[in-house]
């Protein structure tokens, strides 16, 4: 049973870069046909897809965030990461990492981590 766990700062200043890491256990991040994904949820609101990276390293990002987002894989640590630059208060949300299988059905999720953008 694969498990995912987000980690990173809970507070980021405006205009800085948000950096989060998702550690995957119970399976190799470099095997299988999966999409390692980031999804966020502002408080009291719905789910917003940020983007994903597949096991070959190919990425796909939400156009609304594309100029600010980078998702990368670190197969040596069995982790993948999110960087979101030039953050504003609108980026305050719970950030989830998730595994997309059989396309992008998200069958495994991290517990989520709250990131607040504030000075």
Partner 1 sequence: DIQLTQSPSFLSASVGDRVTITCRASQGISSYLAWYQQKPGKAPKLLISAASALQSGVPSRFSGSGSGTEFTLTIASLQPEDFAAYYCQQLITYPITFGQGTRLEIK
Q: Interface residues with partner 1 (CB under 8 A)?
A: 46-49, 60, 62-64, 96, 98, 100, 102-107, 109-112
* Count helices and strands in the chain by DSSP H and E runs: 0, 11
Give the residue with the Cβ less far from partner 1, 75 or 111: 111
Provide the CA 41 distance to its chain's centre, in angstroms: 11
Confirm if 22 and 78 have CB atoms less than 8 A apart.
no
Residue 23, burial from CB neighbour count under 10 angstroms (0-12, 13-18, 19+): middle
Write down the least CB distance from residue 76 to partner 1, Å.
26
Give the residue with the Cβ less far from partner 1, 30 or 112: 112
Write down the least CB distance from residue 8 to partner 1, Å.
16
Write down the least CB distance from residue 4 to partner 1, Å.
9
3-state secondary structure of 67: helix
Give the residue with the Cβ less far from partner 1, 80 or 106: 106
Give the residue with the Cβ less far from partner 1, 14 or 57: 57
Write down the least CB distance from residue 79 to partner 1, Å.
18
Structural tokens at position 70: 């980078």
């Amino acid at each position: 049973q694969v498990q995912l766990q987000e980690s990173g700062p809970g507070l980021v200043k405006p205009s800085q870069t948000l950096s989060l890491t998702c550690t995957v256990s119970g399976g190799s991040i470099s095997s299988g046909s999966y999409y390692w994904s980031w999804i966020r949820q502002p408080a009291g609101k719905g789910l917003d897809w940020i983007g994903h990276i597949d096991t070959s390293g190919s990425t796909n990002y939400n156009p609304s965030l594309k100029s600010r987002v980078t998702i990368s894989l670190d197969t040596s640590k069995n982790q993948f990461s999110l960087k979101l630059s030039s953050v504003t208060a609108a980026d305050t949300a719970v950030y989830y990492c998730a595994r997309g299988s059989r396309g992008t059905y998200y069958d495994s999720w991290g517990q989520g981590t709250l990131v607040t953008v504030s000075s």
